[in-house]
Chains A and B, each alone.
Chain A
Amino acid sequence: MTAADVDCLSHDTPPALTARGVRVRLGGHEILHGVDLDSHPGEAVAIMGGNGSGKSTLVRSLVGAIPTTAGDITVFGEPRTRLTSRRIGYVPQRASAGGGVSATAREVVTSGLLGVGALRTPRDAKARALAALDDLGVADLADRDVTALSGGQQQRVLIARALVRDPDLLILDEPMAGVDVPSQEALAAALTKRRDAGAAIIVVLHELGALAPLVHHAVVLEQGCVTHIGAPPRALGVHALPGHDHDHAHPDVPEPVASTFAWEVRQ
């Protein structure tokens, strides 16, 4: 794919999510200084940027986990309220989950079936949780303590918890952090299937990695401001190095070097 192939501005369908001028203040400091974002059904947007750029704060404000101080967020054309949460599946960073009492993978996934007007789990919760775990290839871990699972397995359970809601908009915060390669491939396959089925995806990423083929366009944040919207950074030169922070605008990618030539040929 080249930058010319990407056209994020013309869409036949109404947006899944729009954010306009979103500002967030935490602990007396403004973290986001008026961020815009658009997400459309059947598309995946990557939110990229270095540590402290405001990526996680942005997605947490999009799902209502932290309050915004200014700006508008609409979900499928309606202002975001608790009611619009029904259409959202959220995968927070793995470190935010868990408590002092152990819980099984099935119990964790079942909690994804709750929401507005659903304070108790439905009758078929057990079967639906198992099916969601099965989709991620971890049905055999249903009765295992989630804290005893590997990073990749835990991440699959958290994604199953979001997918069990059958969401039209999927928002993921660093889903690939600390995840083994087989799990990365399983997650990429599950997300691609959802996107192809028409779901909108917003994913916070440090680097594109296994999700590179999934992402349509990227929004790069730097110190709480959007510095680039458009083509995802191409995996060339320093940008292809593991751990590279995409915290700057990317249209001016460096010339390909020998080590990444084969990658470019594959594209």
Chain B
Amino acid sequence: MIDLITDPLVQRMLLVSLMVGATAPIVGTYLVHRRMSLLGDGIGHVALAGVAAGWLAGSAADLAQVDALAIPGAIVFAVAGAVVIERMRARGVAAADVIMAIMFYGGIASGVLLISAAGGSNANLMGYLFGSISTASWTDVWVTVGLAGVILVIGLGLRASLFAVTHDQEFAHSTGLPVAALNMAVAILAAITVTAAMRVVGVLLVSGLMILPVAIAQLITRSFTRTMTIAMVTGVVLCLAGVGITLFYNLQPGALIVVLGVIVYTVVASGAGLRKRRRRLRDEAGHAGHDESHREHQHPTLGAPA
């Protein structure tokens, strides 16, 4: 066990999963609140084209490490995609959902084509599709630290304002809050989260890591702030547990983290349902008891019929 903890590879894996687990649910909370839970999924598709474009640029520039520009490429594409989606949403473009579908599937298809043009194979893309935390370098760790820092500072620092615009945009406008800028901040934070989480769970599962902890937290609390806090803790626990288990068993960490999340959600939802049913039965029993005692109470006062 000590050997494992002191292993630099394991340290890198745990550090990256700790940061991603804590930050993905922050943006996830805002996206769920705005009812745009699948935005992260869409941005992930676009980010994949960025990975391949970065790969192509790296290969054209004859870089020693051909995928050195993959993450910067993903960041550029993901942010650009998020900005386009947010502008369409803000302007209420009628064909926005069709345009988004074209962007998402165009992104994933051009990713596959670009990677083969760069001399890579679809196998190279698999690491980005489903995550490849076991290949994380120290550079990856520092990039993740930087991205997580941005999410923590903006996502938590501006929590009140971001809650206000995602809760009631019309009221936020009336207060003079910079609504367009704050909306754009949410979209860009989602893009940053996707690229940060890509290493751990991959672009296809990134939405799971953003949304599942929020869904679990909502079963426990009815407060927005507490939802975000519980979701962050849940995200960290899921990521560390998932990565930790893969140290002992040969399993895919990204998929394991998401499946663990689904299991936790199911267990907590069942518990919450049982608690609700028990409370209802108790209330009904209480009412029945009350009726009974009420009748008993009334009988002595009835008196004998004349």
A and B together in one complex: yes
Are A114 and B174 neighbours in the complex by a CB distance under 8 Å? no
Residues of A within 8 A of B223 (CB): 102-104, 107, 143
CB contacts under 8 Å to A, within B16-53, are 29, 32-35, 37
Number of contacting residues on B, CB 8 A? 32
CB contacts under 8 Å to A, within B155-180, are 157-158, 160-161, 163-164, 166-178
Partner of B176, one of A103, A111, A115, A145: A115
Question: Given A100-B37, A111-B167, A65–B174 Cβ distance below 8 Å?
Answer: yes
**Does B225 touch A at the CB level, under 8 Å?**
yes
Residues of A within 8 A of B35 (CB): 99-100
Residues of B within 8 A of A97 (CB): 167-168, 171
A-B contact count (CB 8 A): 110
The complex places the Cα of A39 from the Cα of B225 at a distance, in Å, of 38
Are A108 and B167 neighbours in the complex by a CB distance under 8 Å? yes
Number of contacting residues on A, CB 8 A? 39
**Does A82 touch B at the CB level, under 8 Å?**
yes
**Does B214 touch A at the CB level, under 8 Å?**
yes
Are B224 and A114 neighbours in the complex by a CB distance under 8 Å? no
Are A110 and B171 neighbours in the complex by a CB distance under 8 Å? no
The complex places the Cα of A85 from the Cα of B172 at a distance, in Å, of 10
Most A-side CB within 10 Å, residue of B214, B218, B223 = B223
Are B167 and A103 neighbours in the complex by a CB distance under 8 Å? yes
Interchain nearest-CB distance for A204 vs B (Å)? 13
Are B225 and A107 neighbours in the complex by a CB distance under 8 Å? yes
The complex places the Cα of A112 from the Cα of B171 at a distance, in Å, of 8
**Does B295 touch A at the CB level, under 8 Å?**
no
Most B-side CB within 10 Å, residue of A97, A101, A114 = A101
**Does A165 touch B at the CB level, under 8 Å?**
yes
**Does B193 touch A at the CB level, under 8 Å?**
no
The complex places the Cα of A105 from the Cα of B39 at a distance, in Å, of 28
Are B34 and A99 neighbours in the complex by a CB distance under 8 Å? yes
**Does B227 touch A at the CB level, under 8 Å?**
yes
**Does A193 touch B at the CB level, under 8 Å?**
no
Question: Given A100-B37, A107-B224, A148-B222, A114–B164 Cβ distance below 8 Å?
Answer: yes
Residues of B within 8 A of A101 (CB): 29, 32-33, 214, 218, 224, 227
The complex places the Cα of A111 from the Cα of B216 at a distance, in Å, of 25
**Which residue of chain B is the closest to A122 with respect to CB atoms?**
B160
CB contacts under 8 Å to B, within A123-148, are 143-145, 148
Residues of B within 8 A of A77 (CB): none
Interchain nearest-CB distance for A76 vs B (Å)? 14
Interchain nearest-CB distance for B225 vs A (Å)? 7
**Does A29 touch B at the CB level, under 8 Å?**
no
Residues of A within 8 A of B166 (CB): 99
**Does A211 touch B at the CB level, under 8 Å?**
no
Are A102 and B167 neighbours in the complex by a CB distance under 8 Å? no
Residues of A within 8 A of B172 (CB): 111, 114
The complex places the Cα of A101 from the Cα of B214 at a distance, in Å, of 8
Are B163 and A107 neighbours in the complex by a CB distance under 8 Å? yes
**Does A119 touch B at the CB level, under 8 Å?**
yes
Interchain nearest-CB distance for B170 vs A (Å)? 5
CB contacts under 8 Å to B, within A86-101, are 86, 88, 90, 92, 96-101
List 18 additional A-B contacts (Cβ < 8 Å) besides A63-B173, A82-B178, A100-B37: A60-B170, A64-B173, A84-B176, A92-B170, A96-B171, A99-B34, A101-B214, A101-B218, A102-B222, A107-B225, A111-B160, A112-B171, A114-B161, A114-B164, A116-B175, A116-B176, A120-B158, A161-B171
A-B contact pairs, 15 of them (CB 8 A): A60-B170, A65-B174, A83-B176, A86-B176, A88-B174, A102-B222, A104-B224, A107-B163, A107-B223, A111-B172, A114-B164, A114-B175, A115-B176, A119-B158, A120-B161
